[in-house]
Chains A and B, each alone.
Chain A
Amino acid sequence: MAEAIEINNPTVTRIMPRVVDIKNAKILHHNHLVLDNVNFEVRKGDFIYLIGRTGSGKSSLLKTLYGDLEFTKGEADVCGYNLKTLKKSDVPYLRRRLGIVFQDFQLLGDRNIFDNLSFVLQAIGWTDKNKIKKTIEESLEKVKLSEKIYKMPNQLSGGEQQRVTIARALLNNPELILADEPTGNLDPETTNEIMDLFYSIFKETQTPMVFATHNYQLIEQYPGIIYMCAYNSISRDDSHFTR
């Protein structure tokens, strides 16, 4: 079990710069109201859980943060991008500021791990092959998957695939990591491995992380700020704060 860190103390994090700032917002999915009157912020050094039952709006909030759902009601700023005025053509640039980890990994199944990670770096304009290779090797080293660099995604276990996804999310030093049920498809032992990895990265880099999960056990093991999604609303729950 990882130990809690001081940076998660709300009184400490309030002085850190905001990465996400949502005020009086409505989160919609296909014009259907999912969350109303959303006031949500993420600051550097925050380790945040979005908890709630399936369909409570956790994933919709995350999708809104990375520009997959349209934002129309309220005010929202993510990594300096105003979601209300965000053009479709700017969505890729917003996503490049983020590291996104998905429950279903979203690896490119037609190419090996090296090419999966190389794709991300080339997509953001990297051309130096040596630099790309070095960065990928370092990134895979962090998630302890160096020996799998030339394997295809379908040759890896679920836990390994999720570690590749974390390596991918870390590639371009994101300002914020969003993880949508990152351990939802994994067994308890692998879940702990993945969460240990997230937590160690968090302690090392102070990159703010937002986890959508319905696994309440994680909160006890890896403490953080909790936002509860229920009945079309989201509220901060400081009663679970663990030092």
Chain B
Amino acid sequence: MSDELEQKAPVKRKPNFVFAIISIAMILFTIGLFSFGVFTLQKQIKEIKESVQIDLNLKSDVTESQKTALANYLKKQNYITKITYKSKEVAAQQFEKELGQNFTEILGSNPLYDAYIINLKSEFSNPDFIKDVKSDFLAQAGVQEVQYSDLAVQSTGTTLKPITIGIIILSTIMLVVAFLIIDNTIRLMMYSQRFLIRSMQLIGANEWFIIKPFIIKSIISGLISAAIALLFLSGIIYLTINKFSLQFVSQDFVILLFIAIGLTLFGILISISSTYFAVNKYLKVKLDELY
């Protein structure tokens, strides 16, 4: 071959690898954005459910020891997320502020009760559970009555349940679609390598020696894809919070870290598994089947 021809001869590049990284990064970014939206929505749902208050109004003749015993009882219940004690004086002040009138002067006495106000953990904030625990609360010494808004409890249950189910179904579909697209991308990349794999076999390389570099490459491509996806995701979250001032968007560092780790692991694991199965397939087939 002449020198001129050698210089003109194109050096083979690796576009498939780059395209695969970009494709996987885009899919991981979409999953990340969806996951972030789901987490934000779940956080909102959780806050709404935990905002439902149950008032345990105490008897007018309740003793301090009964209050302490009740407080201790409530603290032991794992379904309660928050306990607030409100004396009837504080309750009256708040009520007067809302009404704009001094009703205790009009009535001549304060008709309100000392109360413990509790909030349930979101997973327990449903009508059936509240009905169950209501009787337990009433059985405690010093408790006059248990009050909560039926409407609030019912509406959180009826409205939020289909949303949660919808999120679960959508998440599952999203993950399956993402898996199929990434798997297909990697299989296509490996399809273009099938004759290379065949050549490696013919010159005496054993299966693991052939698979190993592809697996290492898949880990690298998974990592790079996840890094690109996270970079774009961080940019979107930053813009959403700081430029568009959407403060309801979750800024929970743990959630962001969870998404980052989850996306990276997903990217790497799916790259490894798809690569392994694709290479293994071409190691098993006969030459005629490669065409």
Which B residues from 154 to 202 make CB contacts under 8 A with A? 193, 196, 198-202
Known: A92-B204, A155-B1. Contact between A110 and B199, CB under 8 A? no
Chain B residue at smallest Cβ distance from A97: B204
Complex contact B1–A110 (CB within 8 A): no
Across the interface, which residues of B come within 8 angstroms of A151, CB to CB? 6
Complex contact A119–B205 (CB within 8 A): yes
Across the interface, which residues of A come within 8 angstroms of B200, CB to CB? 108, 119, 123
- Decide yes or no whether A152 CB sits under 8 A from chain B: yes
User: Shortest beta-carbon distance, A81 to chain B, in Å?
Assistant: 13
User: Shortest beta-carbon distance, A116 to chain B, in Å?
Assistant: 9
Complex contact A123–B206 (CB within 8 A): yes
Complex contact A154–B12 (CB within 8 A): yes
Instruction: Choose among A96, A119, A152, A160 the residue that contacts B12 (Cβ–Cβ < 8 A).
Output: A152
Across the interface, which residues of B come within 8 angstroms of A238, CB to CB? none
Across the interface, which residues of B come within 8 angstroms of A152, CB to CB? 9, 11-12
Across the interface, which residues of A come within 8 angstroms of B288, CB to CB? 30
**Number of inter-chain CB pairs below 8 Å:** 66
A122, B209: Cα distance in complex, Å? 9
A110, B14: Cα distance in complex, Å? 8
In this complex, the member of B201, B203, B206, B286 whose beta carbon has the largest number of chain A beta carbons within 10 angstroms is B203
Across the interface, which residues of A come within 8 angstroms of B235, CB to CB? none
Known: A110-B14, A123-B209. Contact between A157 and B1, CB under 8 A? yes
Across the interface, which residues of B come within 8 angstroms of A108, CB to CB? 196, 199-200
- Decide yes or no whether A109 CB sits under 8 A from chain B: yes
Across the interface, which residues of B come within 8 angstroms of A11, CB to CB? none
Chain B residue at smallest Cβ distance from A161: B1
Known: A100-B203, A123-B204, A123-B206. Contact between A110 and B11, CB under 8 A? no
Size of the chain B interface, CB-CB below 8 angstroms? 23
A119, B203: Cα distance in complex, Å? 9
Across the interface, which residues of B come within 8 angstroms of A160, CB to CB? 1
Chain A residue at smallest Cβ distance from B209: A123
Which A residues from 146 to 194 make CB contacts under 8 A with B? 151-152, 154-157, 160, 168
- Decide yes or no whether B10 CB sits under 8 A from chain A: yes
Which A residues from 95 to 110 make CB contacts under 8 A with B? 95-96, 98, 100, 102, 106-110
Q: Mark B91-124, 1 if CB is under 8 A from A, else 0.
A: 0000000000000000000000000000000000
Chain A residue at smallest Cβ distance from B6: A155
Chain A residue at smallest Cβ distance from B213: A119
- Decide yes or no whether A7 CB sits under 8 A from chain B: no
Instruction: Choose among B193, B201, B204 the residue that contacts A120 (Cβ–Cβ < 8 A).
Output: B204
Chain A residue at smallest Cβ distance from B9: A155
Q: Mark A102-138, 1 if CB is under 8 A from B, else 0.
A: 1000111110000000011011100000000000000
Complex contact B203–A95 (CB within 8 A): yes
Across the interface, which residues of A come within 8 angstroms of B198, CB to CB? 106
Across the interface, which residues of B come within 8 angstroms of A199, CB to CB? none
Complex contact A156–B203 (CB within 8 A): no
User: Shortest beta-carbon distance, B258 to chain A, in Å?
Assistant: 38
Q: Which 5 pairs between the two chains have the least Cβ-Cβ distance? A: A95-B204, A123-B205, A157-B1, A96-B204, A106-B199
Residues of B within 8 A of A (CB): 1, 6, 9-12, 14, 193, 196, 198-207, 209, 286-288
